[in-house]
Structure 1
C-alpha cells in the first residue's frame, strides 16, 4: 500500500513524563518517548473508566508522534493501571523498523540556483538510507524560506514539497524543489526631514542604488545611523510590497537628537583621590554634521581642560578628523608638570574592526623631576590601534582588548630632542560555569632617546597603583635619582592574573597577583605583589576594593586600592 504524507507534523520535546502517563518504548528510544509524551500532554481522568475513554485518542496521538520521527509501523497497546481515583495510562510502544529515505530530490532552481545565497549546508540527515524525520525536513524548508527572504527572492516558492511514504517497504521518497524567481534590488535611500544636508546623509549609506537586496544591509544601515551620534531614533525599512520593477525603495525615518548635552560626574580612587568631571558636547552645529566639545577634570594631584572640533569624513560614522587642544597640570610626589597641547587626529574604524588613530600634535611642557627642571617643545606624530571584543554587556562574561601606541619626535623639526616611544596593553577575560571569572593583563613599553634626561615626565614610565602593581602606591615604582626622588623610566613591564568568584548576584570575591616594574635596564628586578578584593557590579560598571601587599618588599606594608571602570 502506498500513501502520501505531506510533512506538516510538529515535533515537541518534553522534559519529563506527565504523572498519569507512562510510555514504555521497545527498543528504548528517548526521542520517541519524549515526542509521544509531548503530543499527548497532561491527562486528567477521575476514574479508570475515564482513562480508558482517553486511551483511544492517546493511542492515535502516539502513532502520529512516532510517525513524525519515521516509525510508521509502530504497534501501540494501551493499558490502564493504578487505583480507581488515580489511574495511570501505560502505552506499550513496539517501534519496529523505521522508514528510510530511498530517493531524495532537493533542488533550488531559477536565477538563484548555484549562488552563494542558496548554498545549503550539507546534511547527513536528508539523504538516501537515512531515517525519515519530519522535523529535519521542516527545518530545511524553513532554512530555504529564510534565505529567500534575507536575500530578496520575494517571488520565490516551492514548486514541489512532499514526502511519499511506503510503510510496507519502510521506504520514503522526498521531493523538495524551490523556484527562486528574480532577486529584488535596493533603490534610493530617502530620509525624513532632518537638519543635515543630503550629502552628509547619503555618505552614511554603505550601498549603492541597484545593489541586490540583503536584509543585513538594512540592519547595518540602521546601526550605522545610530552610531553616527546625530539621531535620537532611527527606523530603516525596505518593504518589498512597494517594489517597482524589482526595485525596493528604502526609507530611513530618523529624528535628530538635541544638539547640546552636559555631563557631570565624580569619583574616587586611591591613585588620585576624589575627582570631579564635567563635559559639554555639541553633537552637531551645522548641516554638514560638524561637532565640538569640551571636558574638565579636577583632582588633587591633577587638573586638565581639553576641547575638540570634529569634521565627519566618509563614511561619517567611522571616519573623522578631529582638532584637539588641552592643558594639564600634575603634581604627583616627585613630579610636577604643566602641559599645553594642540593637534589633530584622523580617527578611522577599519573594516577589520580595529580603531586606528593617526595624530600630529605640538606639545609644550614645563616640568620638574626630582632635582631636574626643564622645558620641552615637541612636534609628535603618532599612530595607535585599538580593538575590544566582548560579550557586550556592561559587565561582560568574556572578551579581550588590545591597545598599541607608537609616537616620536625628531630633533630640529620643531622638537628639542629625538625620541621614539612604544606602549602596548593586552587584556583578556573568561568566565567558567557562570561564577568563576579569570582576568589577565600584560603591559609593556619602551622609550629610545638621544637625551632621556630631557624627555618630559608625561612620556616616561611609572608603575604601581590601582591599574598596575597593586602592592605599591600610585607611580611609586620608578628609578630614583641621587636624592631618592622618582624620575620615571625608559621601560615598563607589568602583568596581572586575577580570579573572581561570584558568591552573590552582582558581588564577587577576588584574589590576584601582580608582577612588574618601571626600569631603566632589563637587568633591574621586577616586583611582585598579591592581594584579595571585593567586586560590586554597579549600574555604572564594576567597582573594586582591593587589599594588596608586596612580596618583593614586605616593608611596604598593606596597600588599600579603590577604583571603578570596565575590566576590558
Structure 2
C-alpha cells in the first residue's frame, strides 16, 4: 500500500506541480482534467524529485506518465481512471507538447472498518481517543495515506507509553474495484504496559538520595517518553550535570512487565567563569564577572560569586546554596553576603549586607521565600550623613513562565516582596517596604513581539532620612526609564539634590520586529517617576529605538533613548549590554 510513497511517484510530482510540469529538450508535458483538490492532495504528500532521467521517446514517455498517474490516483482511491494522450504540433523552434488528459473516474469508498484493540490498550484512554479521532467514516473516499497514518499512530503510542511487546495480529486494506469498495481490517495487540521497577544512576558526583528525591518516580510507575523527558529536564535544571542520558532496559521477570531506567550523567565542570561588559551613558562602562561552582560536595551545595565594577558603583556578592534532601529542586536555603560601594548623583553609600532565605517552589511554578536581612553601613547626601544597622525580615513570591529558553516567544515574570524593620528587634529605624515587578512578553504573529513592564514600590516610615538610599526609590536608567540617567529621577531637597522617594511607579512598552536572521529592531516608550506623594508627582516620559542581536547567550541590545519634554540637564542616553528579558 506504500508503493506510491517510494520510487516513481516522486517524479510525477514534477508533472503536477508545474502544470505544465516538465519540459524535456524535445517534449513538453501538459496535464489536464484533474481537479484542484486531487492535485493538491498529491502535491502535499510527495516531494519533487531532482535529477530523474525521463525518456524523450514519445512511446516510452507515455508509458512512464501513465504508470505514475495510475499509482498516485489509486493511492487517493481512484482505481478506474482513464488517461488519454495527444501531441500538439510544435511551432517553429519550440518543443512539441504532449497533452495528458485524465478522467479520475468514480472513487472507491470505505465500506467497512474493523479495528480491534487487545491487551491493556483496550482500556487506555489515549488509544481510545486515537481510534475515535482517526477512524474514517463509512462512505469516505479511500486514501492509502490515511490508513498508513492510522497504523503508525498505534505503533507510535506503543513506543511512547511503554507497550514494548505490541504487535499487529492482522492489518489488511482490502479493495474491490468492481464494487468500488474498500475495507479496513486491523487487529492490534498492545500486550502489557511496562512499569519502572528501579532507577540506576551512574557516574554521578551527587548522593543518590538527592537524585531519587528529584525524580520522585514510584516503584512500578508506568513508563512513558513524557516521563523520561520530564526526568531529563529536571536533572539538567540542577546545574550539577553537563549531560544526562536515560536508557530503558527491559527486565526478564515472571511478574508484571518491568524495566530499569539506566541514567548516565556527566558532571558539570567544577568551575564556571563568565564575564560580561555593558555601557550606559552616565555610569559609562560596567563589567560583571561571575564565578560559579555548581557543586561543592555530594550534597549538591553550590557557590557563586558576582563582582560588578563601574566608575560609579562597585559590588561583590557571594551566594551559598544548600538544597534540602527532601526536595532538592524545590526547597533550599540561600546564604548571601554582599559588599556595596556607590558614588552617584551626590549620594555616597558604603554598606555590608548579610541575607538568609528559605525557598519553597510550588507545583504551579510559584517560588516562595522567607527572608532575614542584616545591613550595616553609612551613607551621605548633601547636608546629611547617617550610620545605621538594620535587621528586617521579609517575604517574597515570584514566578517565571516562558516558552523558549534564550528567546522567549511567550512569557511573564511576577515578583512581590514585603520587608518589615522594627526597633523592637534591634533595628535602628522602623519601616515597611512593598515592591512589585512584572514583565509580560507576547509574540503577536511571526516576527512581531510585544514586551510590557511595570514596577511599583512603597515605603512607610516615620524617619525617612535614616532609610539608606539603597532602599529608597529612584527612577531612570537602563532597567527603569531609558533616556534618563541612572537613578536621576526622584524628589529633591531645597538645594535641588536628589533624595530618593517614598513611592515608585514606572512602566515600559516595547515593540520588536525581526528584521533578518538573528537581528531584531525595537521601538519603545518608557514612563514613570519616583515620588513622595502621588498628587505632586510629574510623569517623566521617554522614547527610543534599539537593535537586538540574538546571540548564543541571549539578546545583546543597542538602545538609544531620549526624554520627552525633559529639562536641559537630560539628553540622549546610550545603552549596550545583555538584555535580560525575564
Which string of whole-angstrom CA distances, capped at 9 and with x for unpartnered residues, describes residues 325-359 of structure 1? Answer: 11212221132222322222233443323444442
- 1:3 counterpart residue number: none
Which string of whole-angstrom CA distances, capped at 9 and with x for unpartnered residues, describes residues 50-89 of structure 1? Answer: 1321322431221121111122222222344565995554
Listed as ranges, the matches of 1:478-489 within 5 Å are 478-489=490-501
Residue 508 to residue 410, structure 1, CA distance change in 2 (3 Å): closer
Query: Displacement, 1:147?
Result: 0.7
Return 537-546 or 200-209, whichever deviates more: 537-546
**What residue ranges of structure 2 are gaps of 5+ in the alignment?**
24-28
State yes or no: 1:255 paired with 2:254.
no
- 2:250 counterpart residue number: 240
Q: For residues 58 and 35 of structure 1, what CA distance do their matches in structure 2 show?
A: 19
- 2:114 counterpart residue number: 105
- 2:577 counterpart residue number: 564
- 2:79 counterpart residue number: 72
Q: For residues 477 and 143 of structure 1, what CA distance do their matches in structure 2 show?
A: 61
Aligned match for 2:213, one of 196, 203, 213: 203
State yes or no: 1:152 paired with 2:162.
yes
Q: For residues 110 and 503 of structure 1, what CA distance do their matches in structure 2 show?
A: 54
SS in 1 for 2:123: coil
Residue 357 to residue 80, structure 1, CA distance change in 2 (3 Å): farther
Aligned match for 1:389, one of 395, 402, 410: 402
Residue 58 to residue 36, structure 1, CA distance change in 2 (3 Å): farther
SS in 2 for 1:204: helix
Return 72-81 or 179-188, whichever deviates more: 72-81
- 1:187 counterpart residue number: 197
- 2:26 counterpart residue number: none
TM-score when normalising by structure 2: 0.87
| 8 A Cα contact 2:110 2:182, kept in partner | yes
Aligned-residue Cα RMSD (Å) equals 3.0
Return 183-192 or 442-451, whichever deviates more: 442-451
Query: Displacement, 1:174?
Result: 1.8
Query: Displacement, 1:32?
Result: 5.0
Aligned match for 1:310, one of 300, 321, 330: 321
| 8 A Cα contact 1:337 1:457, kept in partner | yes
Query: Displacement, 1:41?
Result: 7.9
State yes or no: 1:127 paired with 2:130.
no
SS in 1 for 2:152: helix
| 8 A Cα contact 2:279 2:574, kept in partner | no
- 2:40 counterpart residue number: 31
Residue 54 to residue 38, structure 1, CA distance change in 2 (3 Å): farther
Aligned match for 2:441, one of 413, 428, 446: 428
- 1:95 counterpart residue number: 104
| 8 A Cα contact 2:214 2:329, kept in partner | yes
**What residue ranges of structure 1 are gaps of 5+ in the alignment?**
1-5
| 8 A Cα contact 2:251 2:258, kept in partner | no
Return 459-468 or 547-556, whichever deviates more: 547-556
Listed as ranges, the matches of 1:424-463 within 5 Å are 424-430=437-443, 432-434=445-447, 436-463=448-475
| 8 A Cα contact 2:135 2:150, kept in partner | no
Return 417-426 or 260-269, whichever deviates more: 260-269
Q: For residues 96 and 172 of structure 2, what CA distance do their matches in structure 1 show?
A: 41
- 1:291 counterpart residue number: 302
Query: Displacement, 1:453?
Result: 3.7
State yes or no: 1:347 paired with 2:359.
yes
Residue 533 to residue 364, structure 1, CA distance change in 2 (3 Å): same
State yes or no: 1:519 paired with 2:528.
no
Aligned match for 1:399, one of 393, 410, 421: 410
Q: For residues 157 and 69 of structure 1, what CA distance do their matches in structure 2 show?
A: 27
Q: For residues 7 and 537 of structure 1, what CA distance do their matches in structure 2 show?
A: 43
Q: For residues 195 and 125 of structure 1, what CA distance do their matches in structure 2 show?
A: 50
- 2:332 counterpart residue number: 320
- 2:66 counterpart residue number: 59
Aligned match for 2:345, one of 305, 320, 333: 333
Return 105-114 or 126-135, whichever deviates more: 105-114
SS in 1 for 2:133: coil
Return 130-139 or 159-168, whichever deviates more: 159-168
Q: For residues 284 and 200 of structure 2, what CA distance do their matches in structure 1 show?
A: 51
Return 109-118 or 119-128, whichever deviates more: 119-128
State yes or no: 1:269 paired with 2:264.
no
| 8 A Cα contact 1:45 1:51, kept in partner | no
Return 339-348 or 321-330, whichever deviates more: 339-348
Which string of whole-angstrom CA distances, capped at 9 and with x for unpartnered residues, describes residues 428-466 of structure 1? Answer: 2436443x4433322222233344443322222211112
Query: Displacement, 1:413?
Result: 2.9
Residue 426 to residue 61, structure 1, CA distance change in 2 (3 Å): same
Q: For residues 355 and 120 of structure 1, what CA distance do their matches in structure 2 show?
A: 36
SS in 1 for 2:120: coil
Residue 106 to residue 353, structure 1, CA distance change in 2 (3 Å): farther
Which string of whole-angstrom CA distances, capped at 9 and with x for unpartnered residues, describes residues 106-147 of structure 1? Answer: 342222213233232443771112222111121121111111
